[in-house]
Structures are given as C-alpha cells and as structure tokens.
Chain A
Amino acid sequence: MPVGIFQIRKGVIGMKYVLKNAFVFQNSKIEKKDLLISDGKIVSIGIGVSVSQDSAVEVIDMNNYFVFPVSLMFMYILENRVFHIRRRSEPDLWRRLTADTQMYARCRT
C-alpha cells in the first residue's frame, strides 16, 4: 500500500449514523440495505440494522438513494497554490494571473 501519511488520518470519533433505506453497492451488486457507521467505520450492513437501544445514533433516511463506494480519481491536476486564489472572494487577484500560474498552465499544453 503506497498510501498512508497523506490520507485524512482520523475518523469522526463518537459519531454514529444509520443510513436507512439505501440502495448499497457491495460485492458488485446493488441491494437495499441499512448501514451503521460508528467512529468513522462501517460497523454493520444489512436489512433492518438494529439501533433501538442507542439514543446517540443519528438515523438518516436515504429515501431510496444510492450509496456507492467512493470514486477514485487517479488523473487529477491539483488545484495548487495559485488556484487557491478565491475566484469569487478575490476576483481582482484571480484576474491578475501571475507568471507562476501561466507557467503551471502551460504544462497542460
């Protein structure tokens, strides 16, 4: 596994969700299931996941929405420091493209 230190390191500690009534993609199939998520991890997947004793659980009705594993974009041009200029909040700065920006952009030609 080459990845590691650049991943967001921690899950959300103490948060529990149930995503109910979702069409979940798992093992190359899409089936209606519930997902129990706790401390950032998927704890349980199934039909009618039970959480009745746990008042700290936030139940989110997925209303037949589809839950997919994350898509991985492996061809991504980083919106690097020059593109962190906020187009909306700093329009003047955005328009004044720096030499750095243009050099970066030329890499794509």
Chain B
Amino acid sequence: MAAAHGGYTDVCAMPNLKPVPDSAEHLRQELDIIERDAVINVHPYGSLTVNEAGEQLSDLEGMAKDVIAFSDDGRGVQSGEMMREAMTKAKSLGRIVAAHCEINELLKGGYIHDGEYAKAHGHRGICSESEWGQIKRDIELAKETGCSYHVCHVSTKESVELIRRAKKDGVDITCETGPHYLVFSDRDLIEDGRFKMNPPLRSEDDKAALIEGILDGTIDMIATDHAPHSAEEKSKGLEKSLMGVVGLETAFPVLYTKLVKTGVLTLEQLVELMSEKPGKRFGIDTQIKEGAWANLSVWNLNKEYTIDPDSFLTMGRATPFAGISVFGECIMTMLKGEIKWKQ
C-alpha cells in the first residue's frame, strides 16, 4: 500500500530476505507471501549466490522463469571469478545481473562517505573506490560475457564516468541513482540515522556528476533503494544505526520539487526516468496507450506540503527528507483499473 501511496504499482523486491531466494524452493516462500499480501505487482529478484554469501552460485536456472533479474543487493560479489560465472549463466538465461558494487576490503569499518564531514567529526569513512573499483571490474566482465548488466544506486563521480565510457564502448549496461544522492551531499549530514544509507551521501562534486549523468543519459533511471527499518534501528546516530532509508512515498515529490521546479529536468524527463526507462530495461510495459492495462497514478502538482514521516504507510520512518517542503501529491493510483490508493 505504501508503494501505491507513492504512485507505484510495480515494485521489484530485492533478495536480501530470510531465507534468501537462492533456489526455487526458497523463492517459493517469498512468492507465497507476495501472492498472499501484495496489493500491487511485486516482481522478485533471485540472488546471484547462495545466501548472498558470494561463494557458490545460486540455482539461477531454477529461478529464472519467476524472477525479474538476479542480484546480491546489499552485498558486492567479491570474487571476480564468481561474478564471471554468474554473468555467464545469467546471459544464457536472458536475465539481467543487477549489482550492488562494494569492495569489502576497502570499507575498513566505514559508515559514511570518506569526506570532509567524516574527517571533521571523527567518523570512519567509506571511500569512493569501494564502489567504482567493483564497477570497473564488472564492466570488463559484462564486456567479456555479453551479460546485461545494471549497476544499482550509483553514488560517485568515478562510477558515472566509467559507465559513460562503457556505454560508448557498446557494453550492455544501465544504472540508476537515488533521490537522496541527487539532493544531498555529505555537507548536509547531521548526527542522525536517517542520513545513513549504503552507499553513503557523497561529496558535492559527486552530486554534480550524478546530475550531469542524468542529463546526458549515462544514468538511466532513478530508484530509492527503499529500506523500511524500524525507528529503533535508525535511532542510533550515524555510527550505530542500520544502513538504509525509506523512499517510496517521497521519491516523486522530492524529485519534482528539487529537479523539475528548479529547471534541472523537464517533467517529461522525470517521468521517463521513473517509469519508461526502467520499464523498458526490466521488460515491464508502463506506457499509457489504448489497449493497455490502466496502470497509472494521478498527481496534484500544485499541492505543497511538508514531508511528515508519520503520514507514511510504509513501516519505516527514517528519511533524510523529513521536514522538507515539497510539491506534488499522489491523488490516486490505479492498477488494472482498480483504484489502489485514493486521497
């Protein structure tokens, strides 16, 4: 319901669950929950490796017909050999590999960006290379295997440049970033768990590169990496809170207010980034056209309000956008002609 409140009728569920959907049997448990509880379309991912541990390939073949793509989201696949094996198999099955890129040995206990704020406040930082280093490796593997490769939540300027070059080289690669990386940088950090996510908020230069990447088409789409942690889990400041923030119910208003109303993007470009382009990449028809299912959302773009997490329908409340004034309220969300959410 939270997704419908945010104007979404289709979500792709990442595999960081218990049990991890790494086999047809484990995936079945997730599917049962989806079939029982979902009020919108939920498309599950299968994990790349067993238990997302990066050591043994999951049963990709057994899950392929029931998943939208494969990913070890939340964990980077550390072994290049394992990633090569996964990409080769995914390619043979005609599925996308979506990667959370992170080199563990470069993390060194970090939990926010290794930038000015971390240095000034005595926090341990996460360096940019921990992300772009693995993207660089994976681009070579995607080139070698011919696998369709998608980079999740890009946050650094180096990542953008690597992906830009890979696209020019003809690699089958797409990527996304999140609203928080386009709006905030580590200059905006405060000692509050609602500003903690992985990858972390980066520098102003990184933010500028992400916007440039959006404008020149290097970045194909925008996703929130919605992670509904409890208040308790997010109440322990930057160091101790769990990683992740919610975003389903704020994504469109935030992006409309911060990027469209300020003239960075047109409204049409924003809709393409949130609907058409991801739909095309992941094989879901999102177009409004005669004969199509009536899957749509209705928005009052003149409505101005302050983001109040207590109004969210999602179980999580932690968002860096709390208290921000935005334009754009979802009036109605319709799935196959049925009104799923109405103001």
Contacts and interface: CB of A to CB of B under 8 A. Distances in A.
Interface in B27-63: 30-31, 33-35, 37-44, 52
Interface stretch (B65-73, B126-134, B183-191, B202-210): B65-73
Nearest to B18: A104
Contact of A69 (B178, B225, B288): B288
Contacts of B153: 75
B315 A105 contact: no
Chain A binding surface, main DSSP class = mixed
A74 B274 CA distance: 10
Nearest to B299: A66
A45 to B, nearest CB: 6
A28 B67 CA distance: 28
Interface residues of B, number: 97
Interface residues of A, number: 64
Nearest to A7: B41
B14 A76 contact: yes
B322 interface: no
A67 B283 contact: no
B43 A100 contact: no
A6 B271 contact: no
Interface of A: 1-3, 5-8, 10-12, 15, 17, 19, 22, 24-26, 28-30, 35, 37-45, 62, 65-81, 83-85, 87, 94-95, 97, 100-101, 103-109
B33 A81 contact: yes
Contacts of B292: 41-42
Nearest to B10: A72
Given A41-B337, A73-B8, A3 B41 contact: yes
Contacts of A7: 41
Nearest to B286: A69
Contacts of B42: 6, 78
A1 B34 CA distance: 19
Given A42-B291, A75-B224, A109-B198, 16 more contacts: A2-B283, A6-B43, A8-B40, A42-B292, A45-B288, A69-B296, A70-B10, A70-B297, A70-B333, A73-B11, A73-B251, A74-B278, A78-B42, A105-B229, A105-B230, A108-B229
Contacts of A11: 293-294, 336-338
Contacts of B333: 70
Q: Which of A10, A83, A97 has the most CB of B within 10 A?
A: A83
